[in-house]
Structure formats: C-alpha cells, structure tokens
Structure 1
C-alpha cells in the first residue's frame, strides 16, 4: 500500500478554489467590491508567478472568516460547493482517485488553500486525509490568523513530514500529482512525481527530468 498525494487546485479541480471562494464572496456582497477583487486577482497572479507572499495573502483571505458567524459561513459554503466547486470537479481526477483507492493506497490532499474551503471538498472527493492551511479558531470562531506553518511551497514539505511522523508511510513509494511549479520542493522528494496539466515552468522541469506528464481535462 502506497501513499498517493494530490494537489487540489487546477489538479483535481479545474479551478483555483481559493480564488473561486473570493469570487463567491464578492457575489454575496460580503467583501469590498473593489479592493477585495483587486487583491484576489493580484494574489492569484502572484501565486502563478511564484512570487506570492503567503502571509500577506492569508491576512486578506482569512479576514472574512473572522468577520462572519460560523452559521453564515456554513450556509455560504453549501452554496459555494454547489455553484463553484461541483461543476469543476474533474471526472478524470475522480477516476484517478478511484484507481489508487482500488489499489489500497492512502489518499492525501496537500493544498495551500485553507481547511475551511477545502475540508468539504476533500470529503466530497472521498480522500482519506487533508493537509491545508489551518485558520486559527478560538472559542468556536475564526480569528483571521493562521495556525502553524502554511502548507505552501516548502511549507508543504514541512507539514507533510510532520504528518508522516506517526504514519507507516514514507515518500520512497509515494506519488504526488500537481499542476504547479510552486510544488517542485515536494515533487522532488517523492518516488513518483506526476505533472498534471502543468504550468509552463513545471512542464519544462518535468520534461527535462523525465517525469510523467498527464492531463485530467476532458
């Protein structure tokens, strides 16, 4: 039994769920329509360029969680799943998960998107476990701050190594599927790195190193 690790955004989904959540909040009138849209789009561009300041991003991205009640957030997330996520779950991604599941592999999503957004998505996909950015919760409410190391770039490696500490799995027989050059640090550590509909930077590295390249798009 191996460990099958998956990035989420633009890998198992055809969109970036963090950016989509920002768009959803804008549609609900829950955030400033000018400043938040500008920041949401700018941070996505920074991520794609590999220049994202993760802490500056999280300061903006986690604020709406602190400004709204758990009940409101839960209601919004149900709508978000139906309107923004379900249409963008890739059928071939689900087939890939099913193949690993049938083999008896442990399925793990490692994402730089926060757990509030991604927890229900991982559950919908039937994935065993999730490593995500952890928004801090105090007395049942989000504070707007992050707890621990954000699972972004090298932070994914840090968080994964902590997760592996009490598991039987190692990376010597692990798969990792990702679309992004931001995940190179983790791709380089696993036995079976797979570039999934890769961005140009990752495609170049994958081709140079002979990594497998696949598409999950229809």
Structure 2
C-alpha cells in the first residue's frame, strides 16, 4: 500500500506526532509466530517437523516475553529464509492476516482509533520481517511499518538483513530515522511495548506506555513512572501476575466463605460465556453487587459495573472499584460519558452490569410491585446491539438493608436466603427507550417471587429499613411522592 512506504514526501508539512506500537504481547496477547509459521507451512516453506520445538519456544515467549537467546535465534531468520521466493512469503503473510486480526486485543483497537481520530500517524514497530507483517498493518489502517527487512536478489531472499535488525537499540534507531524522514515530532509521540528490550524505544518519545509488561519492563516503568496498560481489560484496570483483580475476587465468591447468607441461584445457562452482554437487576440492598458477583463466579467471567460517583470518590474504596473495572456515573450532570465507557466495554466483548432503578428505592416506593427504571440499559442495547440479560434479586435486604452501614454477619444460625434468578435475553420490540425500558423492568419483575407482585402496606419498621440510618422522614407521603417523581428517568 502506498502509505506503507517511508520517505521524505511532504517535508514542508507541519511536524506531527505518531503512535508507535510493538506487535507481539502488545497489540497481540502473545506471539505472532505460531500463526505466521502455520501460514509458511501452508505455502510449503516450512516443515511440519519443527512445530514441536516452536510450540515450546513460543510458549516460553508468551509467558515471560523476549529473552536475549530467543532474539539471537530470531536474528538468524534471514539466513534460514535464504532462497525463499519473496512472492511465496507474501502469500503466506496474506494467509496469516485474518487470524492475526482476530488476535488483536480489543482495547488495542480502541487505542488505535483514538490516535487516528486526532490525526496521529500510526506505526507498527516490530522485529518481525516487514514482508510478513505488512498486510496486517494495512488491514489495521496503519500508516507505516518499521520492521526488519530481508535483502533480496532476483525475487528471492539472499540470507542477509537489509539495514537494521529492528530490535532493542536497533528498533529505537530505526524509529528515530523514520521520524526524521516523515517529519514526526517524537516528543509529541506515543510508544507502546511489553518488552524490557524496548526501553530504548519508549525513552525517545514524549508519551511512553508499558503494555502487558514483562517483569523487567514493569520495574523500569515503575521507576520511570511510565503508565502501565493492558489491552485485554478496560483502561485503569491493573493486572497482577497476568490476572485482573476482579477475577481474583471472583475466586473468593464462594458460599462457604459467607455462612451468614444462603444463596439460591437459577438460570446461569442464560448468561453468555463470551461476547458483549448487558446484565440488569433490581436494586434492593447494598448487598446486590456482591450477589451479582456470586452469579458471575458461577459463570467464571467478570463484568464492568456502573456505579455512582460517591463510591469512586471514597478513599481507598474508589481505587478498588476502579481497579475492578467499574464505570463511574455522576448522576447530577446527566453526562453521557458513562454510557460511552460502557459502549467501549461492550465493543470489546465485555459484560456490563447495572441497576436500571439507579438507587435503592426509599419508603413506600420500595414496596411498589411495579419496578420503574431509567433508560440507560436500553440506550446501551440500542447503540450496541448487545443483549439485555435480566436478573431478579430477592432477599438481599435481609442481609444488608439500606438502614445499615454494614451487612449483618451474625445470622449464622438461621441465615436469610438470597435468591438470584437469571432470565433469557429480553427481546426489545419498539426501539423506543421508554417502552423498551418497561419491557426490561417487566422481565426482571417476572423473575421475582409471587409475593413481590402484591401490594401491602409496610410497617414502620419496614419503612425504617429502607432509609439511610433507619430514619423515617416526618412527612412520608411527601417523600414518597418525591421518590416517585424522580423515577423513571431518561438518564
């Protein structure tokens, strides 16, 4: 493609920034090698007898990243390719591209689009030979490739490298030269890599980013205060030993660790094991998010919870919620930012969880059999096409009512039962946010026990449990009307 060729065209143009991405363990979760090797075998350039050795080598690479010995072997690639027809290698590259595209991490694609939107040049900087990786860069819409180039003679590789071996300091030098030729200001540029050996590359740009860093890169990034990112989880979510915090916490969501509550869980088969989904439940208690976590533990996949800003602003707790991938909602502003963040998560194949009621209903509204919700979940579904999965929660208020600052952990003799029921995806019919929200709330209501659908006058004690601190307002009727007026809502 024309844009893939470096050169000095446009030297009179204003200097601009670039976004420079490493490939293996950065844009991709692991090595590109297995996919490329399979393609080379398909065109007859590699023997199947080497596949076992390669599997071990690539497995080590995926686990710990680049090592000096592995790169010494990689440097010999030009010699191993001596005599190969260039056309066959390019054919193999085309074969590999579709599989490589499927391996690009979801939040890497979003990062690429953000740079494209502000006009930065997109560059792939990789040790992988240019002929093998060019089609992938083109498919991703990159402007150029800085990669190792094998020298050719009469349409065949001659066993030598043309220019730099693009690795370590050689990669940094190659990117510097490319930037000079293309009038790119490296101080305005971004660079992304996982490898300690790319510290020289990240050191020459104004905005270095360590992505899925190997142990030594992690240490360097920490010492230099470089941002650390992971393209397989939302922005702001850290990982420890390759595992995100929410997955670790899901391991602790086991009934035996909570003897003061009994769980009944039904309908787990209605939860998709992969792909985007919007999980919606009724809101009765501060215990509801934990109940949902027990459900997710059964499924074995995390979800991104939308939560009110007060939780995110709380010392320590806010940092934990952010680390778990939570999406902050500032209810007073009416901002669409939370929905955009949720849309990004869904586009990346994540599951998003929210309570359409917004907050736990207070006073008589808590006992209203007709659930009223805000439009956020439906707007997300309309915008993304993700299915809405309803969840009915019952009994959580017996564990942690709104009137209490902490859950009641003393009920170990006769623990209350919390019922969690998952229904099939809601079929949205009208395209109208209000009408479809009513469908969603009806679907949730249908998952609750029969007693939830009967109107009964609450006692004073019942009312007290629905208010913070257990304080019932003097004018309950006025408070009830105010509560009804603010539900449902368009936000």
TM-score (norm 2): 0.40
For residues 1-218 of structure 1, what are the structure 2 equivalents within 5 Å?
1-25=16-40, 30-35=45-50, 37-38=52-53, 41-42=56-57, 45=60, 48-52=65-69, 54=71, 56-59=73-76, 61-62=77-78, 65-82=81-98, 84-218=99-233
Aligned residues of 2:43 and 2:88 also touching (Cα < 8 A): no
Q: Does the residue aligned with 2:198 lie in a helix, a strand or coil?
A: helix
Aligned counterparts of 1:194 and 1:209: Cα–Cα separation in 2: 11
Q: From the two aligned structures, give the one with the greater helix fraction.
A: 1
Q: Which has the larger radius of gyration?
A: 2
1:148-191 CA-to-partner distances (Å, cap 9, x unmatched) read 11110000112122212233222222211111111011112211
Question: Which digits, 9 at most, give the CA deviation of each residue in 1:129-164, with x for residues without a partner?
Answer: 110000112222222321111110000112122212
CA distance in 1, matches of 2:131, 2:192: 22
Measure how far apart 1:75 and its partner are.
3.4
**Greater Cα offset, 181-190 or 11-20:** 11-20
Distance 1:53 1:12 in 2: 20
Aligned residues: 216
Contact 2:193 2:209 in 1 (8 A): yes
Unaligned runs of 5+ in 2: 1-15, 234-491
Query: Aligned in 2, Cα 1:167/1:20: closer, same or farther, shift over 3 Å?
Result: same
| Aligned equivalents of 2:38, 2:199: Cα separation in 1 | 28
Report the Cα offset of residue 201 of structure 1.
Answer: 1.4
Q: Greater CA deviation, 191-200 or 47-56? A: 47-56
Flag the 1:79–1:39 CA change in 2: closer, same or farther, 3 A. closer
> Structure 2 vs 1, CA of residues 44 and 161 (structure 1 numbering), >3 Å: closer, same or farther?
farther
> In structure 2, what is the Cα distance between the partners aligned to 1:117 and 1:39?
17
How much has 1:105 moved relative to structure 2? 0.9
Alignment partners' CA distance in 2, 1:127 and 1:207 = 29
**Cα separation, 2, equivalents of 1:97 and 1:185:** 22
Q: Give the superposition deviation at 1:196.
A: 0.8
SS at match of 2:20: strand
Return the structure number with greater strand share.
Answer: 1
CA distance in 2, matches of 1:161, 1:209: 21
Change (3 A) 1:8 1:49: closer
* Kept after mapping to 2: 8 A contact 1:58/1:145: no
Equivalent-residue separation in structure 1 for 2:162 and 2:148 (angstroms): 8
Asked if the contact 1:179/1:197 (under 8 Å) is kept, the reply is yes
Partner Cα distance (1:80, 1:187) in 2: 28
**In 1, Cα distance between equivalents of 2:80 and 2:51:** 10
CA gap 1:28/1:141 in 2 versus in 1, 3 angstroms = closer
